Chain A
Amino acid sequence: MQTGDLLTINDLVVEYKTRRGTARGIDGVSLSLPCHTTLGIAGESGCGKSTLGRAIIRLVPYPGRITNGSIEFELDRDVNVPDKDPVRAGRYNLLDLNKDQMRALRGEQIAYIFQDPMTSLNPMLNIRKHYREVLKAHNPRIEDEVVTKRTEEVLDALGISPERMNDYPHQFSGGMRQRVMIGLGLVLRPRLLIADEPTTSLDVIVEAQILQEMARLKRDFDLTMILITHNLGVLAETADMIAIVYAGRVVELGNTITIFEDPLHPYTKALLDSVPDVRKPDRKLAWIPGAPPELTHPIPGCMFNPRCSHAMDICREIQPPLQPDKNGSQVACYLYQEAH
């Protein structure tokens, strides 16, 4: 792994212990994320996109647990831990930090934006108080005037007039609420923003606005972003790199243009073919037969082999490793690996 990356994930495994057995929600994912890039994570429902995002902030929902791997994160400044010693700048494995240190890092260095802005704001607090809570959690001695000033700045940057900061969440529209949420994520000037389907519950016009806003903010705030979505169109707009995830594994990783122009993995191809295109109404919409395998009973070899039209014998026996291809992407498929 080259240094200089903001985030390096190495062989991460997240397991869900359920009554029907142990399911590997994330199965040996390795990624590295250079500063100031946007990584899109795409895949169908239940493939482990959100689990991956949650694992980075170490908030995998119960009964999930991170059982293996490392998540290295570059701190460029000291982070205050209330009532404790600060975390010095440097490179850390997030899995080694204790609870208080991790809590101090959330929001301050890594921000997370949820899917549903309608319920992600506390109905009993007005917007200013939301910002105050966030700022106070990381700096208990912060003055109210400073809070007001920071809130004004952030709201202004997001195109919400600062006079509205004494309003309550129910007085805002969905798009504005999502902006308020994004602002909450950005008010502490984090370096990494993880957006978990930030535009899914919004209509297309607002979606476009928010995406543009986020692209601008990424520039203004020097952000590195992880964008989790099932909407490939959104990724085409915003992401620099795309990781296609299937059944807890990264099957293809490459920069956006290459993925769209020259998809390699059969799953990526199928995924792109299943996106409707307005310009070609005659085209028959492709779909992928079958369903993803049960994660509690993993099949040997490539997870995609039962649904793959190119499946070979080796695909049913040995799991293909993620290897670079000549077009620049990395792909986990035996079709592109010469010697085996």
Chain B
Amino acid sequence: MTQKLVKGVFLQVSSGTKGLPRSVLFLAGFVLIVLWIFISVAVRSNSGIGVPFVTATVGFGFAVMLIPAVLRFWSLKSSREQQAAPTVSNTQDGQHGIVNRLLFGSKIPLAILTALVLALVVQGLASVFVPEHGPTLPLRLVGAGIAIYLILTLVVDWYPRLHVRGSPGLLVTVGLAIVLSMLYMTLASEFIVPYDPFTLEVGRSLEPPSLQFPLGTTFLGQDLLSRVLAGGATMIQVAALSVVVCFSIGVPLGLMASYQGGAADRIVSLVMDSLFAFPGLVLAIAISAILGPGVVNMALAIAVVYIPSYFRVVRSQVLTIKELPYVEAAVVMGARNREILSSYILPNVLPSAIVVLSINFADAVLTAAGLTFVGLGLPIDVADWGWDLTFGWEQLLSQKWWVITFPGLMIVFLALGFTLVGEGFNEILTPKLKE
């Protein structure tokens, strides 16, 4: 029954015609289980609007996904009617085609449009019905709704395409599903947590998991479940930001310096090697001590530490690749440096850079936890897995295992998600590994 229901809903929006492969049903099942977990948590939410919130986000996600499909169906029907009319001149037809392609051909612009319209509607509804939550509610609702939309598109639209690539496609899908679920959890946490994650002594100190506190309580008597749900925000922000900064500095720098060679290469390599010579965590501590606490500063401190690892990997690859016959062949055919870098060297370097990225992400999460541990990361009243990990360490010695276990597991899941995505993309991007 459930299967049929899921199949029915998904078939309406699927781009495939032959129905869905079995693995899509498993993924849909995964989504349902995640949603069920969220709803069962939300039932006891302290904001009082947990279940409506989750329902609204799911509705939002489905609407963003379904409305473009409906519009497209409608436009196809109308264009079929148009074909009966006499054809206009060629140029006009071409322009019309481009407009059509932009508006209806690709789903993404339509989805963005739908999301914007829905966001305005949500804003209006929220200000009428639940004014006490202020501007954060519509914002979070739209954000979480888009996360749901992305998960749904992933299952229905992206996966059938990635599926052809075999197991790497599955890796990417599973990884993205994990990461997106984490994102949803973080965005929704404010409204579905059973207790305020910052309030002290909602229960007794260090209570083991029970019905009232499903994951137990911390040393300060905070509800661990609420802290686990809400604690991902800083982690995800810091890790994502630092990885983006690292990647966008380290990779181009490595490409250009080592392709250019000579003095440029030597100077940049020297700087990078001296950065690399520092122990990572010590350097990060020094930098964040200079910059002060905060998400952006923490991300920058971590980024500086990890730029050399991209640089070195990219550099060693470029040095090998630029001597290969196909690069020489490109020179002989009259290619310019810019083209050689962008279409001959970069694609061959990218797989290794992406592997570094996925490892780097896990590292960044752990370094962020480390910075918080020495007191340079975040203020103490912020819910953060790093904090709980730090304090949980002492409690583990007195056999209170839950304080450290659950935040740790979340970090593991997050890092796992990113690693899966990185590993899968590595294989998808390398044509030779396809078979």
Contacts and interface: CB of A to CB of B under 8 A. Distances in A.
Interface of A: 57, 59, 82, 103-108, 111-112, 114, 116, 119-126, 129, 133-134, 136-138, 168, 170, 181, 184-185
Given A133-B339, A133-B343, A170-B431, A119 B334 contact: no
Contacts of B22: none
A125 B347 contact: yes
A106 B332 contact: yes
A123 B434 CA distance: 12
Nearest to A167: B431
Q: Which of A112, A133, A138, A185 has the largest count of B CB atoms less than 10 A from its CB?
A: A133
Given A122-B330, A122-B347, A181-B329, 11 more contacts: A82-B336, A104-B334, A105-B334, A108-B334, A111-B333, A124-B429, A125-B344, A133-B335, A137-B335, A184-B329, A184-B333
Contacts of B325: 114, 116, 119-120
A114 B328 contact: yes
B405 interface: no
Interface string B310-346: 0000000000000011101111111110010001100
17 contacts: A57-B332, A104-B334, A106-B333, A107-B333, A114-B332, A120-B325, A120-B328, A121-B326, A122-B330, A122-B348, A123-B326, A125-B344, A125-B347, A129-B343, A137-B335, A137-B339, A184-B329
B248 interface: no
Given A124-B348, A168-B431, A133 B330 contact: yes
A214 B326 CA distance: 21
Given A122-B326, A126-B431, A112 B332 contact: yes
Contacts, number: 78
Contacts of A121: 326, 329
B432 interface: yes
B325 to A, nearest CB: 4
Which 6 residue pairs spanning A and B have beta carbons closest together? A124-B347, A107-B334, A107-B333, A106-B334, A168-B431, A112-B332
Nearest to A138: B334
Interface string B74-104: 0000000000000000000000000000000
A53 to B, nearest CB: 10
B431 A134 contact: no
Contacts of B429: 124
Contacts of A134: 333-335
B430 interface: yes
A123 B348 contact: yes
A125 B343 contact: yes
A105 to B, nearest CB: 7
A13 to B, nearest CB: 22
B98 to A, nearest CB: 14
B123 to A, nearest CB: 42
Contacts of A116: 325
Contacts of A124: 347-348, 429-431
Contact of B431 (A59, A123, A181): A123
